Amino acid sequence: MTSTSDRPRDECGVFAVYGHPNAALLTYYGLFALQHRGQESAGIVTANGPDSGFKRHADMGLVSQVFSAPVLEQLTGDRAIGHVRYSTTGSSNLANAQPLMVNCSRGQLAIGHNGNLTNASLLRDELEQRGSIFQTTVDSEIIVHLLAQPSHQGGILSALRQVEGAFSLVLMDERGIVGVRDPFGFRPLALGKLEGAWVLSSETCALDLIHAEFVREIEPGEVIIIDENGPRSEFPFPKTKRAFCIFEFVYFARPDSVLENVNVHRARVEMGRELARLHPVEADVVVPVPDSGNYAALGFAEELGISYNHAFVRNHYIGRTFLQPTQLIRDFNVRVKLNLIKDAVRGKRVVVVDDSIVRGTTARARVVNLREAGAKEVHMRVSCPPHRFACHYGIDFPDPAKLIANQYTMEEIRDYLGADSIGYLDVDGMVRATGLDINSFCLACFTGNHPVAFDPELDKFIMERRRNRAGHLLTDEDQHPSLFDSVS
Ligand code: SF4
């Protein structure tokens, strides 16, 4: 088992509050709004100033499962950091749930991390040789050990300068909270304000939920330190090119969030319009694969003047259930999530729009659904370019050898899916849809140009994660192995 899903996985979400009597409750709400970024575990650490002692609760599961009212009441204090996790390094178990918390010579420290360190194994080896004993298998713990090293008594900035790769962090020490965004700015991090309290969040949608004012995004390379004197910023990293993950716009972020000062919903609708101009088709109805394809499909339909209809109906109550494989019902795991309104497509020329195709198994099942429902033609349109390369910056794609676009020509993909035609958006159109400069982005999973050199030893972490998760979660791929599994 080298992959666990036909969808790329969100990485993690971080949230923090400083200076509010209900810091834990606000963080709980914040994590709730960030749940789409990670569903394996959730955690909150709170404190109430120097010498108050940190309080932590973390567990496996969704935010609503991990926290109850009594648990939140125990998490007292006017400052908190929180984390939702989907494991991109390290296995899926409770020890790896974040925020991580340690006692060290500089007192108590807690950390929540979104991203992947690209020099993780190198740093870990060095730290272990110097006597560090790791409690988890997550790369985030490396940052904790660096911070705890006596050689970094000068502060967190010199410790942070050693780590490379993608990291949006929230930290808490006994004085306050700290937000950090790596110099490339791979992952988002926003600053908000609420009744004199300060808030940090992976996405602005979480600020909206708690009625916090969106102040600004944390700059790439910025370290924002928030304590009793308010926020102040440091820029300890050498300046480098920006490399914001464009896939946040395509798929990961919530449509109601603002990234790089651009509304995600607007960018997705524009991607649909760009796609329609690049691959127009005569059709009767445009159907999104919900929820991720909704906005691109809307833009596609508007651009070509074709009617738009939600023919696929999502079951919102599945969550991450431990569905058992069944031979009884073909495509059960695909159908249980999305069912089709047959009347909406019967006898029609249908364009089905999704945000991405990774391995192709789920897309293929959708086309089969549409054919069985009596669609006259099925045209597949994808609102980002073909995925051909690995992501080393915190997004969990399958092994590149399993990426359908890495293995097959467009014609072969179309034939595998069983579609009448297929069309992907190109890189220029995807970038244009955001209204931002192409040099602002990481595009590595589409182009193969990775902005930060990758430590191949990180594969050890990734392989371990996959091995562990294979025994932990049953997914589409577990139950419906790709046809390509047998030939690649
Ligand atoms: S490789 Fe792709 S998914 Fe990973 S950070 Fe770059 S754009 Fe995002």
Q: Quote the CA–CA distance of 50 and 36 in Å, as a whole number.
A: 33
Query: What pLDDT is attached to residue 150?
Result: 65
Pocket test for ligand 1, best of 86, 391, 403, 443 (most atoms within 8 A of CB): 391
Is 483 a member of any domain? no
339 touches 331 (CB < 8 A): no
CA 91 to chain centroid = 17
Q: Domain check: are 267 and 233 in the same one?
A: no
- CATH code at 213? 3.60.20.10
Both structure tokens of 442? 């990481």
- State whether 179 and 31 are in the same domain: yes
Q: Which has the closest alpha carbon to 148: 97, 100, 109, 96?
A: 109
Q: How far apart are CA 118 and CA 102, in angstroms?
A: 23
Q: Where is the domain boundary, 185, 208, 240? A: 240
> Quick check: is 474 in a domain?
no
Let me know whether 222 and 271 are in one domain.
Answer: no
Q: Which atom of ligand 1 is nearest to the CA of 8?
A: 3
Range of the domain at 55: 12-240
Atom 8 of ligand 1, nearest CA residue: 245
Look up the CATH number of the domain holding residue 296.
3.40.50.2020
- Pair (53, 182) in one structural domain: yes
Question: Could you tell me if 94 and 150 lie in one domain?
Answer: yes
One-letter amino acid of 403:
L
What is the predicted pLDDT for the residue at 331? Answer: 66
Residues with CB under 6 Å of ligand 1 are: 186, 245-247, 391, 393, 395, 442-445
Q: Which of 437, 457, 476 is the last residue of a domain?
A: 437
Residue numbers annotated as active site: 12
3-class SS at 225?
Answer: strand
DSSP state, residue 150:
G
- 123 vs 161: CA distance, rounded Å: 12
Number of folded domains that form the chain:
2
pLDDT of residue 454: 73
Same domain? 54 vs 185: yes
- Position in ligand 1 atom list of the atom nearest CA 186: 5
Determine the Cα–Cα distance for residues 6 and 20; give it in Å rounded to an integer: 41
Q: What is the pLDDT of residue 318?
A: 64
- Can you tell me which atom of ligand 1 is nearest the CA of 451? 6
- 209 and 268 share a domain? no
pLDDT along the chain (488 residues), means of 10: 48 94 98 94 93 92 95 97 78 81 87 89 85 82 82 71 92 94 97 96 98 98 96 94 96 96 97 98 96 95 97 75 53 74 97 93 92 97 95 82 90 97 98 97 95 67 46 32 24
According to the model, what pLDDT value does residue 480 have? 28
0.75 exceeded by the pTM?
yes
pLDDT score for 17: 98
Q: Which of 418, 437, 456 is the last residue of a domain?
A: 437
**pLDDT score recorded for residue 99:** 96
Beta-sheet pairing, 262-263 with 285-288 = unpaired
Q: CB-based contacts of 388: which residues, under 8 Å, 6+ apart?
A: 400, 403, 405, 406, 445, 446, 448
| SS3 at position 312 | strand
In the reported structure, the alpha carbon of residue 116 is separated from the centroid of ligand 1 by a whole-number distance in angstroms of 11
Task: Give residue 105's pLDDT.
Answer: 78
Q: Is residue 330 part of a domain?
A: yes
* Pair 174, 275 in one domain: no
Write out the two tokens for 411: 């014609």
254: nearest Cα among 82, 33, 96:
33
pLDDT of the residue at 470? 39
411 domain-assigned: yes
